[in-house]
Chain A
Amino acid sequence: MSETSIAIQSSNILVSLNGQEVLHGIDLQIRAGLWTSIVGPNGSGKSTLLKALAGLLEFHGEVLVFDAPLNSFKAKVRAQQISWLGQNEVTSDDLNVWDVVMLGRLPYQDWMAVPSSQDIQAVETALQATQSWDWRQRRLGQLSAGEKQRVLLARAIAVQAPLTLMDEPLTNLDPPHQVNWLEQVRCLTSQGKTVVSVLHEVGMALHADDMVVIQAGRIVHQGACSEPTTHRAIEAVFDNRIAIQSIHSHWIAVPNLLRSR
């Protein structure tokens, strides 16, 4: 791990929501240019951790993004450095797809300025990458949930930030578009960009380079997805109800039915 540069380094992150501490001193290192998945049971604090790393909620402790304190970033600089795709956010259905994806270029645009050719190129590339180009004139409200999710992914890609954080990006996506999402993540990392995702689908999360396993607001393991210790940690936090197995050189999570008999 030490040979690769670090995109995010957190020290003793504490987060409280509604007066209750939900993250209890998170120490974390996310390697740059790779894809890291965060997994854990429901309510373990995965999304809260991701929001804290994105600077979207208040926390105690320190987060360094590319060696600079996150809190020292101006809002616009932070927006250029970190692209965010949230989970289950209520979106208005009025904007058309092109305008939604163009919002991803907001961090680069001056107030009231006309989009530059670079902005237009970024939006076109993102729309084509997510196979959303054909709907660019349609309103968000005219799309299915899965199609809408692809447009929101295109918006996140259009930011062209060196660091992309995604919370449940596979929500509502059918299997072919989940595969397409995997290809997009690989495309980003091949460009030297860092991706961090929170995923419920452990099988999909195992395709990442690194894995952070979290339980009850604490990190219980961090390591490469291919390491057996990572697999044992995942099985343990899910109460051994799943087993990590290898099929055709891919790691998959299968239900462990023996225990329920």
Chain B
Amino acid sequence: MSLNKSNNWSIALVMLLSIALCIGIGLSVGSSGLESLQNAWHDEVAWQIIWDIRLPRTLGALAAGALLGLAGALAQGLFRNPLADPYLLGSASGATLGVALALAFFGGNQLATEVLVRVGLTGAAFVGALLAVVLTLVLAKGVQHTMRLLLAGVIVGVVMGAMASLISLMRPDILQNMQGFLLGSTAFIGWSACIVMACFLIPCLCFAWFFGFAMDALSLGESTAVSLGVPLRAMRMVIVLLVALATGTAVAQTGLIAFVGLAAPHLVRSIASVKSGSLALLSALMGGLLLLLADILARSLIAPQELPVGVLTAVLGGGYLLWLMYRNQNQGALG
């Protein structure tokens, strides 16, 4: 209704303003501090710091967070489980395995250009994430049984994670890269990564918006959705693809960033009653905002050194999840 719509626009506007503010802060945080931003117009080095390092990193954090927030909203809608996020469904571990395999095959190849490696990593992460989600669905025999689904996701995650670790052990030359990948970081995001993420984010957002009506129908149960004429099989396939694509793209560029995909949709739901299409878009904004904030904290908490942003989101997100479980237990409605 109109009241809800205007409320959603207000929330989106507040988040956009917060994102703009965080981008401004992100440009001014770093080892050389605010000085680089102030001198950017007349100092070439300062300009390079802003243009080549801080701006792509900040925008990259925004895009990666948005991808994870979007993937989280889609996963929770598809599986009709508020505790579902790309990680719990095994897609991130699948992406990790894909990246480990790609690094093992391409990492030592001198002929591979940076672009080729990037495309290769993104592709490997995407394929790994997709296969992991499909495997989870197969093991869980569909999405109807929540506990079986989560168990299958955990099993797939553990097994694929173990396989990635095994590959890292067998190829010590990729160990450092894998460690950086597992900790998650926005420090090395360049313009090419930003462009890659934007190229995946925009169509994913459009598809999520277009399929919002079907996700709404699915929220009433599979039989009801089918009875309303929703092409459930096709829709499920598209959503699975989107979750795998969004997760795989983000994870390939930033490594494992924990809990953003879980927390962003929950935060949106806590402030607004929204339909699935709006939830996906607002969760993307919220995910972007969360990772921007985490990135700023990672850069400034122990400056001039930095924390891996994945460690920070894991600690903060883990606390949020515990609070969520505590609250739901008190309400007697966990899961």
Contact = CB atoms under 8 A, between A and B. Distances in A.
A106 B228 contact: yes
Nearest to B212: A112
Contact of B3 (A78, A94, A137): A137
A92 B219 contact: yes
B213 interface: yes
B273 A94 contact: yes
A89 B221 contact: yes
A54 B229 contact: no
B1 A137 contact: yes
Nearest to B269: A94
A104 to B, nearest CB: 7
Contacts of B197: none
Interface in B51-110: 77, 80
A241 interface: no
Interface in A93-112: 94-96, 98-100, 103-104, 106-107, 109, 111-112
A84 B224 contact: yes
A134 to B, nearest CB: 14
A79 B223 CA distance: 12
Interface in A149-185: 152, 155, 159
Interface residues of B, number: 27
Interface in B203-262: 210, 213, 216-217, 219-224, 226-231
B216 A95 contact: yes
Majority SS at the chain A contact face: mixed
Contacts of A80: 229
B221 A104 contact: no
Contacts, number: 82
Interface residues of A, number: 35
B275 interface: yes
Nearest to A89: B221
A75 interface: yes
Contacts of B269: 94
A70 to B, nearest CB: 12
Given A99-B275, A111-B210, A139-B273, A94 B219 contact: yes
B38 interface: no
B85 to A, nearest CB: 16
A100 B269 CA distance: 16
Contacts of A84: 223-224, 227
B220 A96 contact: no
A95 B221 contact: no
Contact of A106 (B219, B230, B275): B230
A25 B289 CA distance: 58
A90 B269 CA distance: 18
B274 interface: yes
A89 B228 contact: no
Contact of B224 (A86, A95, A96, A112): A86
A106 B231 contact: no
Nearest to B210: A112
Interface in B138-196: 146
A155 to B, nearest CB: 7
A247 B279 CA distance: 54
A56 B223 contact: yes
B231 A75 contact: yes
A106 B274 contact: no
Contacts of B224: 84, 86, 89, 155
Interface of B: 1, 3-4, 77, 80, 146, 210, 213, 216-217, 219-224, 226-231, 269, 273-275, 279
Given A51-B223, A106-B228, 11 more contacts: A79-B227, A80-B229, A86-B221, A94-B273, A94-B279, A95-B275, A106-B217, A106-B230, A137-B1, A137-B4, A155-B224
A-B pairs, 9 with minimum CB distance:
A89-B221, A79-B229, A84-B227, A92-B219, A75-B229, A76-B229, A86-B223, A106-B228, A96-B273
Interface of A: 51, 54, 56, 75-76, 78-80, 82-84, 86, 89-92, 94-96, 98-100, 103-104, 106-107, 109, 111-112, 136-137, 139, 152, 155, 159
